[in-house]
Amino acid sequence: MNIRVRQYWKLFATYLHFQRSRVFWLAVTLLGSIALQLINPQVLANFIDAAVAGESTQTLLQTALLFLAIALLTQGTTLAATYFSELVAWTATNALRLDLADHCLRLDLSFHKNSTSGELVERVDGDVNTLSRFFSEFILYVISNLILLLGILIVLWFTDWRAGFGLTAFTLLAIALLLRLQSIALTSWIEYRQINANFFGFLSEHLAATEDLRANGAIEYVMRRFYHLLQRWLPLFHRARWGGTLLWSATVGLFAIGNAIALSIGAYLWSRQEISIGTVYLIFSYTSLLQDPIEQIRAQLEDFQQAEASIHRIQELFNVRSRLTAGGDRTLPAGALSVTFDRISFRYPEAIESNFYSLRDLSFELPAGQVLGLLGRTGSGKTTIARLLLRLYDVESGHLRLGGVDIDQVAIAQLPQQIGLVTQDVQLFQTTIRNNLTFFNPQIHDAEILRALAWLELLPWLESLPQGLDTPLGADNGGLSAGQAQLLAFVRVFLKNPGLVILDEASSRLDPLTEKLVEGAIDRLLHNRTGIIIAHRLSTVQRADRILILEAGQRVEFGDRITLAKHPQSRFAQLLKAGSIDPLGLTGGDI
């Protein structure tokens, strides 16, 4: 319990600290509203006693007007408290969303391979939405109603100690019972939130694959899985709601007991003429007022069960740590970068148990400014090399150097600026061409974009677009062909001006005409830069200075392209003689 309390306090302190002024005004309006709620029954009790005593009409009218004024002021302060509460909650949860999204984006690739996009959306948005109510309603209702409860009991003790004692005992027993019942549904709510995340993950994954599912007749299979998922979901929801129903039933019974206690105490004291009829009303009114905060606390405890589950899941996500270190303070040299693999071995996290190495004791050196043609069968480790160079994963053993600097000594944030990657699958966003080229960086001006397009001979392509750089892209790459998307990717890399360019089968899906245009862009992109070309076709490595052929994660051939081509016994020469890589199965991506 202490650990949970510390977690909640840490959450409050982190996301409410920078809103201290709003929290202050929230406290002022809450306390003002509570004070007014305690005063108004006193005014009405005085009105009743004055009416019974035969006071003047003017006195009664003044008391009634005071009652109405306080009632209106109470509504005003409650409205202000609600406004500040929602503002605090919205700001806090948006900050929490940003922190969660930033945390997820900085985790290593193995985390994202084991988590579906739908599940992460549910974590970052669904769970945080639940916490929005926690930040706003918990503060507004639970804390304020606890203060209101305390105020009511203090007033009742001052009114008559017997009324104060009886209703204090009732309140303590009621709160103790509600707190005891509160924990019943917590486990079910945690399971419910998890299956909720699984559902959204399932949905996003299969909606993205609609074309393949329909083409292969897999709709019935997906719907069957969808049905089984819903069958697991419903019982969990019922178990979680059962806890709320139990709390509701307990509250109804407690209200009946509270009314009976108030009426009994009031009738007993009035029969002994120890209190006036106005005081009888006052005791009953405060008891009714006591029921409201207890009911609000009861409702919030039910929501708090869901908030606890969300806090648990959010904390669990924050506790996930990247396998990658932040790196050191070394900087990479300007210009083309040399690449050195020194006895590198690497296994993907999911392959550690099976002891399958994607790269085993791999060594090669690529001088700055040269181009490496990388060949190998599917699963031979080609794409793994690109991932290690970008530090999407860390090597298991050996040394990887860029520009003579160990890659783990370079700040991880510097690598994307110095390494450009173009793959056959280009991710485009639903925004303008300009934003897709600059990755929303406002410091890159249109003149720089146009220069890059001109250098890559792509201005005619841009002029063919209806609105030039302001042309918006819709869903599914906005209707652009694979070749057009590739051209955008080349411009992205060119704008970064990296020292190392990696082309991961970048032209393997293009038609001959578009490929010719892309090949010209590649020549310009690699000018005065180090390049690694992960090849599908032999034509794409004809510009390479060196050739590296991999098999099962190991080097089987490495050397100067021209020298290897002239050596009849070399693997590369045999491939050239065959005229194609495809007959040997050297196609496709990596694991």
Domain boundary residue among 251, 284, 319?
319
Closest CA to 554 of 349, 376, 427, 287: 376
Mean of the pLDDT values across residues 72-96? Answer: 86
Are residue 368 and residue 511 in the same domain, yes or no? Answer: yes
Q: From CA 186, how far away is CA 310, in angstroms rounded? A: 10
Number of domains comprising the chain: 2
Closest CA to 109 of 420, 397, 349: 349
> How does residue 186 score in pLDDT terms, banded at 50, 70 and 90?
low
Mapping DSSP to helix (H, G, I), strand (E, B) and coil, where does residue 472 land? strand
Cβ atoms of residues 194 and 202 within 8 Å: no
β-strand pairing of 371-376 with 397-402: unpaired
Are residue 343 and residue 249 in the same domain, yes or no? Answer: no
Q: From CA 436, how far away is CA 489, in angstroms rounded? A: 9
Are residue 296 and residue 356 in the same domain, yes or no? Answer: no
pLDDT score of 589 more than 60: no
Closest CA to 135 of 93, 104, 172: 93
Residue 423 has a pLDDT of 81
Distance (Å) of CA 520 to CA 238, 298, 373: 62, 70, 17
**pLDDT averaged over the chain?**
79
> How does residue 140 score in pLDDT terms, banded at 50, 70 and 90?
low
Q: What percent of the chain is predicted at pLDDT more than 90?
A: 13
CATH assignment at residue 348:
3.40.50.300
Whether 328 is covered by a domain: the verdict is: no
Residue 583 has a pLDDT of 34
Q: From CA 135, how far away is CA 8, in angstroms rounded? A: 10
Whether 330 is covered by a domain: the verdict is: no
Residue with tokens 């990247």: 322
DSSP E strands, 377-471: 397-402, 405-406, 419-423
Residue with tokens 């009732």: 170
- Which carries the bigger pLDDT value, residue 585 or residue 536? 536
Partners of 551 in beta bridges: 554
Count how many residues are written for the chain. Answer: 591
Whether 250 is covered by a domain: the verdict is: yes
pLDDT score of 591 more than 60: no
Closest CA to 125 of 154, 103, 156, 101: 101
Biggest alpha carbon distance in the chain? 122
Retrieve residue 168's tokens.
């204090």
Retrieve residue 100's tokens.
């969660």
Query: What DSSP letter does each residue of 329-378 carry, written as one string?
Result: SB-PPSSS--EEEEEEEE--GGGTTTT--SEEEEEEEE-TT-EEEEEE-T
Closest CA to 318 of 1, 2, 16, 15: 15
Residue with tokens 């007959």: 583
Mapping DSSP to helix (H, G, I), strand (E, B) and coil, where does residue 419 land? strand
Are residue 348 and residue 304 in the same domain, yes or no? Answer: no
Per-residue model confidence as pLDDT tens digits over 346-385: 998 888 878 899 999 999 999 999 999 998 888 888 889 9
Per-residue model confidence as pLDDT tens digits over 411-457: 888 888 899 888 877 777 778 888 888 888 888 888 988 888 887 77
Cβ atoms of residues 522 and 515 within 8 Å: no
Whether 362 is covered by a domain: the verdict is: yes
Q: In this structure, what are the phi and psi dihedrals at residue 128, rounded to the nearest 5 degrees?
A: -70, -35
Which residues span the domain enclosing 506? 339-584
Domain boundary residue among 319, 352, 367?
319
β-strand pairing of 546-551 with 371-376: parallel
Whether 271 is covered by a domain: the verdict is: yes
Are residue 166 and residue 300 in the same domain, yes or no? Answer: yes
Q: From CA 335, how far away is CA 331, in angstroms rounded? A: 12
Whether 370 is covered by a domain: the verdict is: yes
- The single-letter DSSP state of residue 502 is E
Are residue 476 and residue 545 in the same domain, yes or no? Answer: yes
User: Structure pTM?
Assistant: 0.65
Q: From CA 496, how far away is CA 417, in angstroms rounded? A: 6
Whether 473 is covered by a domain: the verdict is: yes
Residue 1 has a pLDDT of 47
Are residue 240 and residue 366 in the same domain, yes or no? Answer: no
Cβ atoms of residues 544 and 373 within 8 Å: yes
Q: From CA 196, how far away is CA 284, in angstroms rounded? A: 45
Whether 332 is covered by a domain: the verdict is: no
- The single-letter DSSP state of residue 137 is I
Are residue 32 and residue 78 in the same domain, yes or no? Answer: yes
Per-residue model confidence as pLDDT tens digits over 262-297: 777 777 777 777 777 777 777 777 777 777 777 777
Cβ atoms of residues 300 and 382 within 8 Å: no
Are residue 276 and residue 378 in the same domain, yes or no? Answer: no
Domain boundary residue among 319, 348, 374?
319
CATH assignment at residue 132:
1.20.1560.10
Are residue 225 and residue 366 in the same domain, yes or no? Answer: no
Are residue 303 and residue 346 in the same domain, yes or no? Answer: no
Are residue 344 and residue 299 in the same domain, yes or no? Answer: no
β-strand pairing of 397-402 with 405-406: antiparallel
Retrieve residue 156's tokens.
């009742």
